[in-house]
Amino acid sequence: MELRHLRYFIAVAEELNFTRAAEKLHIAQPPLSQQIQQLEAELGFQLFRRTKRTVTLTEAGQVFFEESQKILLQLDRAIQLGQQTNRGELGQLRIGFVSSASHNVVPAILQAFRTLHPAVKLELREMTTNEQLQRLREGQIDIGFLRPPVDEGINSEIVFREPLIVALPQTHQLADRAQVELRQLSTEPFILFPRSLAPGLYDRIISFCQQAGFSPIASQEAIQMQTIVSLVAASMGVAIVPESMQNFQRCGVVYKHLQEPSPIVSIALIWCDNPTPVLLRFLEVATQSCGLGIKTDTETGLGVKLREANS
């Protein structure tokens, strides 16, 4: 039995007239009658009662008709879902992100993507830079937002840049200043994160302090930026943080810009090799949201390379 046999049978069952069914199917009436006879022979039971004037379904034909409709509806749905998946409109993405990225670029990208592709399931996982690099290599995430540098051989693109600022306890003697000189913090206890978690950002912060004439004294360590800011609120020390952490409002903390020219720190987008159609759609949305361009291998749909739009 072939799929066309079901379609022919359903057309005749709906019309109860071989001539009209043949016109509907855009075939001649005699071949249609032959196809139905072949189907009945294969099934081993009669589908229609035929007279010179009427065509009606047998009891077995009626049951077969109802079930055949279900089969075709399911097939049509399967085709539709397959087409949507091929276009990147269905699927799943596993996304890693450092905590600080949730206060700058990630929310805007996710909102834009969700608006365009609401049926895609997004699985968000907060993790450190090193965790993301490892999980991407192991195939446990598809895409990530982290702090550079990125290991050689991993697809990446800078999607966000920002300066560093200082987070102070609200009761700090410098809390009422419009700006703070970094060297004024030389004797303060600092709250830092372990260098192993994000060596690029850590080295920028240490180098920034050293340029101001001192090495920061770490009184506490914390993994997440939100935890660092919370410890500042508890007057456990001060912290140098990315500017977008101002979006994390915490009672007891004030954020101040520094008088010294700040180094610029970045968020990089990383993604796996051989991206799926849904990952390609995400990359397109991400690059559009960040003012970048996208170049895709039109034959395979793979080999994505991001580049700045004006380069």
Nearest alpha-carbon partner for 12 in 3, 25, 2, 30: 25
CA atoms within 13 A on the CB side of 46: 8
CATH fit for domain 3-86, picks 1.10.287.1770, 3.30.230.10, 1.10.10.10, 1.10.287.3240: 1.10.10.10
Q: Please give the pLDDT value at position 299.
A: 32
Give residue-wise pLDDT tens across range 242-287.
999 999 988 999 999 999 999 999 999 999 988 888 999 999 899 8
Write the burial class of residue 304 (CB in 10 Å: 0-12 exposed, 13-18 middle, 19+ buried).
Answer: buried
Q: How many CB atoms lie within 10 A of CB 198?
A: 24
Task: For domain 92-157+266-281, give the CATH superfamily.
Answer: Periplasmic binding protein-like II (3.40.190.10)
pLDDT at 41 over 80: yes
- Most distant pair of Cα atoms in the chain: their distance: 105
- Give me the chain's average pLDDT, please: 88
Domains 92-157+266-281 and 159-264 equal at CATH topology level: yes
Of 132, 120, 80, 78, residue with least CA distance to 284: 120
pLDDT at 297 over 50: no
User: How many Å apart are CA 187 and CA 50, to the nearest integer?
Assistant: 100
51-69 in b/e burial notation, b at 16+ Cβ within 10 A?
eeeebebeeebeebbeebe
Q: Where are the alpha helices (DSSP H) in 224-302?
A: 225-233, 277-289
Above pLDDT 90, what percent of the chain? Answer: 69
Residue 131: pLDDT band (50, 70, 90) is very high
Query: Which helix (H) or strand (E) segment is 121 a member of?
Result: strand 121-126
Give the model's pLDDT for residue 298.
Answer: 31
Question: For 23-36, what is each residue's pLDDT tens digit?
Answer: 999 999 999 999 99
Determine contact, residues 208/239, Cβ cutoff 8 Å.
no
301: left (phi over 0), alpha (psi -120 to 50) or beta: left
Q: Which residue has the higher pLDDT, 255 or 6?
A: 255
Number of other CB atoms surrounding residue 36 within 10 Å: 22
The pLDDT score that the predictor gives to residue 292 is: 55
Confidence of residue 295 (pLDDT cuts 50, 70, 90): very low
The confidence score (pLDDT) of residue 91 equals: 86
Q: The domain 159-264 is classified under which CATH number: 3.40.190.10, 2.60.220.10, 3.40.50.300, 1.10.10.10?
A: 3.40.190.10
Band of pLDDT at residue 197, cut at 50, 70 and 90: confident
State mean pLDDT over 110-139.
93
Res. 5 pLDDT band, cuts 50 70 90: confident
Pairing of strands 179-180, 253-258: parallel
The pLDDT of residue 106: 92
Q: What percent of the chain has pLDDT over 70?
A: 93
How many residues would you count in the chain? 311
pLDDT average, residue stretch 133-142: 94
Q: Which whole number is the average pLDDT over 154-168?
A: 94
Condensed to tens digits (0 to 9), the pLDDT of residues 45-66 reads: 999 998 888 999 999 989 999 9
| Residue 311 pLDDT greater than 80, yes or no | no
Mean pLDDT of 9-13: 91
The tokens for 121 are 């399931």
All structural domains of the chain with their residue ranges: 3-86, 92-157+266-281, 159-264
Q: What is the mean pLDDT of residues 187-192?
A: 96
| Mean pLDDT (whole number) for 192-215 | 93
Integer Cα distance of 274 and 310 in angstroms: 26
Question: Mean pLDDT, to the nearest integer, of 5-17?
Answer: 90
Instruction: Output the pLDDT for position 304.
Output: 39
What is the per-residue pLDDT for 293? 46
